[in-house]
């Protein structure tokens, strides 16, 4: 069996040459095995596997008494060969047209994040059916391993990514616990539900939580071993990373991991990915990195670009620049060949009054241009002709998130009507913005959203008392939530929480002397601020308030209690 890459323009010439190679053999009559199309590279070439059509046979005899018969046989067989090769050519053309990068039908690189921080979303079964029948989305990323969601995607041919909470990482770092987790959360749904990835935690490395960081790779290894033992080797293990893992990102060639973590942590994690053929997952958000003068650069709109003098590359969009910064960091520790998957990226269709660029037109521009860019298979300046698996954030507008912008990252409203169409709908039910985005529950409870997803140390959360949190199991449905210390947490534990939260780059000036939240001046009060700031800034999942079992969610505003 031979593997070849065939430019469409030279397919026929290749077929002619292949026919000439067989001039000294006579073919047998069985039909040529079908060519199997593979995922193409992004250079316009078609990649196929071709099972040899014509087995080798003895060389034709030179016996003159049989020459006439042999020549006739040769001519007939040659014509048959050319007929088969013509059929193969048609198949190659079909393969090329079906998988050609940029083809509007080929949305194989785009997935969606399916969050549920809302009290008005449709049941998971309806969501799964909607994605299957009305969109081109064939993969979703969940923020937990909710069995109701996993059952909903059974027999839909939509692959699913499940997530393990930060707080569960230390316990699952040992094989028996990992095996138990796989048995309870994965095996009941396999193979009816296609599970593509298990993501371990949420942006763990950016937290600088030494306990979580120390257990992250052992947890990933234990889960992979448990999957292999359960004969589920097709499921890959990875962990999402914010761009806070980088100490430098501009220009892209200067990208490098945080000092002290580069070789001790990242190199080892990337070695795991290299050994298991799994991807390194990152969450680039140009939305959190743009300035007024770089808005067009962030939105994939025409702009002069940004030149990287070290590589001679000119960048015309921030998404490529952020990915190349990650690639440069990976390359510096020796793992530039590990695949990259984009776990989250998006732009809100509405924002707070002080966020004029959080609007429907910009959301359509960013997400729509991103989908086109990814599906074109152009890659990035440092990774040309490379296709990236990208998960848009998010599927729905979620009305229990704390700020206007956080509530409006969705491509769809809870009734499945599109907020705008980025090219993933099977029908023409939406060509663009359809109506104003959902309004927040109350303007008084909406803080700026820049603190809600920290892509870098520059993202700073507001004081804890000003942020209403998301929905969870403990407080009543729809209640605002804050993360506060448990009553039995010791001062030493709380001081450790303060130290690593402030070490992530979150703004702790308000709890320093003279700060707006310095009083009451005690560890518990300062820890309440720090822990809630971290919880709000890192996704507001329940596990973001774990803190080694020293944190708890409350619906009572700590600033008024």
Three-state SS annotation for 457-519: CCCCCCCHHHCCCCCCCCCCCCCCCEEEECCCCCHHHHHHHHHHHHHCCCCCHHHCCCCCCCC
Model pLDDT, residue 422: 94
3-class secondary-structure state, position 248: strand
135-190 residue pLDDT tens: 999 999 999 999 999 999 999 999 999 999 999 999 999 999 999 999 999 999 99
Q: Is the pLDDT of residue 105 over 80?
A: no
Do 322 and 243 meet the contact criterion of CB atoms below 8 Å apart?
A: yes
| Residue of 18 and 235 predicted with greater confidence | 235
Report d(CA 123, CA 148) in Å as an integer. 9
Phi, psi of 5, rounded to the nearest 5 degrees: -110, 125
Average pLDDT, the chain: 77
pLDDT band, residue 124 (cuts 50/70/90): very high
State the DSSP code for 135. Answer: B
For residue 473 the two structure tokens come to 């199991």
Number of Cβ within a 10 Å radius of residue 495: 13
Q: Is the pLDDT of residue 464 over 60?
A: no
Let me know how long the chain is. Answer: 561
Do 375 and 109 meet the contact criterion of CB atoms below 8 Å apart?
A: yes
Model pLDDT, residue 535: 85
pLDDT band, residue 315 (cuts 50/70/90): very high
Q: Is the pLDDT of residue 462 over 90?
A: no
Matching residue, tokens 């083809």: 103
pLDDT band, residue 431 (cuts 50/70/90): very low
For residue 163 the two structure tokens come to 């997530």
Long-range contacts of 29-35 (CB under 8 A, 24+ apart): 31/84, 32/84, 32/87, 32/88, 34/91, 35/88, 35/91, 35/92, 35/95
Do 366 and 85 meet the contact criterion of CB atoms below 8 Å apart?
A: no
Nearest-5° Cα angle at 262, 261 to 266: 85
Q: Is the pLDDT of residue 96 over 70?
A: no
Report d(CA 331, CA 65) in Å as an integer. 68
Report d(CA 363, CA 397) in Å as an integer. 13
- Residues of the chain with pLDDT > 70, as a percent, come to 71
Which of 203, 378, 389, 406 is flagged as catalytic? 203
How far does Cα 135 stand from its chain's mean position?
A: 18
pLDDT band, residue 447 (cuts 50/70/90): very low
Do 333 and 257 meet the contact criterion of CB atoms below 8 Å apart?
A: yes
203 is an active site residue: yes
Phi, psi of 345, rounded to the nearest 5 degrees: -165, 150
Among residues 33, 298, 141, which one has the least CA distance to residue 149? 141
pLDDT band, residue 40 (cuts 50/70/90): very low
271 is an active site residue: no
Report d(CA 557, CA 63) in Å as an integer. 100
3-class secondary-structure state, position 455: coil
Partners of residue 48 on adjacent β-strands? 4, 37
Among residues 247, 281, 331, which one has the least CA distance to residue 505? 247
Kindly report the pTM of this predicted structure. Answer: 0.62
Which of 344, 378, 389, 406 is flagged as catalytic? 344
Please name the helix (run of DSSP H) or strand (run of DSSP E) that holds residue 46, with its range, or none.
Answer: strand 45-50
Please state whether beta strands 306-308 and 313-315 pair in parallel, antiparallel, or not at all (unpaired): antiparallel
Omega before 60 within 30 of 0, i.e. cis = no
Instruction: Give a three-class secondary structure readout of 393-429.
Output: CCCECCCCCCCHHHHCCCCECCCCCECCCCCCECCCC
């Amino acid at each position: 069996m031979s593997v070849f890459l065939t430019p469409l323009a030279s397919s026929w010439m290749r077929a002619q040459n292949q026919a000439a190679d067989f001039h000294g053999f006579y073919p047998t009559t069985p039909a040529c095995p079908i060519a199997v199309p593979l995922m193409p590279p992004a250079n316009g070439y078609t990649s196929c596997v071709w099972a040899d059509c014509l087995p080798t046979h003895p060389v034709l005899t030179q016996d003159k008494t049989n020459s006439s018969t042999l020549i006739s046989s040769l001519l007939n067989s040659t014509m048959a060969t050319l007929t088969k090769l013509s059929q193969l050519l048609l198949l190659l053309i079909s393969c090329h047209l079906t998988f050609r990068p940029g083809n509007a039908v080929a949305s194989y690189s785009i997935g969606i994040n399916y969050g549920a921080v809302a009290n008005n979303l449709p049941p998971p079964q309806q969501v799964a059916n909607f994605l299957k029948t009305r969109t081109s989305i064939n993969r979703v990323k969940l923020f937990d391993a909710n069995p109701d969601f996993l059952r909903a995607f059974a027999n839909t041919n939509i692959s699913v990514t499940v997530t393990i909470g930060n707080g569960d990482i230390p316990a699952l770092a040992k094989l028996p616990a990992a095996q138990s987790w796989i048995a309870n959360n994965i095996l009941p749904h396999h193979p009816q539900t296609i599970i593509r990835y298990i993501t371990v935690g949420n942006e763990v490395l950016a937290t600088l939580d030494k306990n979580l960081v120390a257990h992250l790779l052992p947890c990933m290894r234990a889960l992979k071993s448990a999957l292999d033992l359960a004969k589920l080797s097709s499921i890959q293990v990875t962990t999402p990373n914010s761009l806070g893992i980088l100490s430098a990102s501009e220009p892209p060639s200067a990208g490098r991991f945080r000092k002290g973590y580069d070789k001790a942590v990242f190199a080892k994690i990337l070695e795991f990915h290299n050994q298991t053929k799994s991807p390194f997952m990152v969450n680039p958000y140009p939305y959190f990195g743009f300035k007024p003068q770089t808005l067009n650069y962030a939105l994939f709109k025409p702009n002069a670009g940004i030149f990287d003098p070290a590589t001679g590359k000119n960048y015309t969009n921030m998404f490529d620049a952020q990915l190349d910064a990650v690639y440069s960091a990976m390359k510096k520790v020796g793992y530039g060949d590990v695949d990259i998957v984009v776990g989250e990226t998006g732009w809100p269709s509405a924002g707070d009054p002080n966020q004029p660029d959080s609007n429907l037109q910009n959301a359509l521009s960013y997400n729509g241009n991103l989908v086109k860019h990814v599906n074109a298979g152009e890659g990035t300046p440092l990774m040309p002709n490379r296709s990236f698996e990208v998960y848009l954030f998010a599927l729905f507008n979620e009305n229990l998130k704390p700020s206007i912008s956080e509530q409006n990252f969705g491509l769809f409203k809870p009734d499945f009507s599109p907020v705008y169409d980025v090219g993933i709908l099977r029908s023409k039910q939406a060509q663009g913005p359809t109506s104003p985005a959902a309004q927040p529950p109350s303007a008084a409870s909406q803080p700026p959203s820049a603190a809600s997803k920290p892509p870098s140390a520059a993202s700073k959360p507001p004081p804890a008392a000003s942020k209403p949190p998301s929905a969870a199991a403990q407080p009543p449905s729809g209640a605002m939530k804050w993360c506060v210390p448990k009553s039995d947490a010791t001062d030493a534990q709380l001081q450790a929480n303060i130290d690593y939260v402030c070490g992530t780059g979150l703004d702790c000036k308000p709890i320093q002397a003279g700060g707006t939240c310095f009083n009451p001046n005690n560890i518990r009060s300062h820890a309440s601020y720090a822990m809630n700031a971290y919880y709000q800034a890192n996704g507001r999942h329940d596990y973001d308030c774990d803190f080694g079992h020293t944190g708890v969610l409350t619906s009572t505003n700590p600033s008024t209690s």
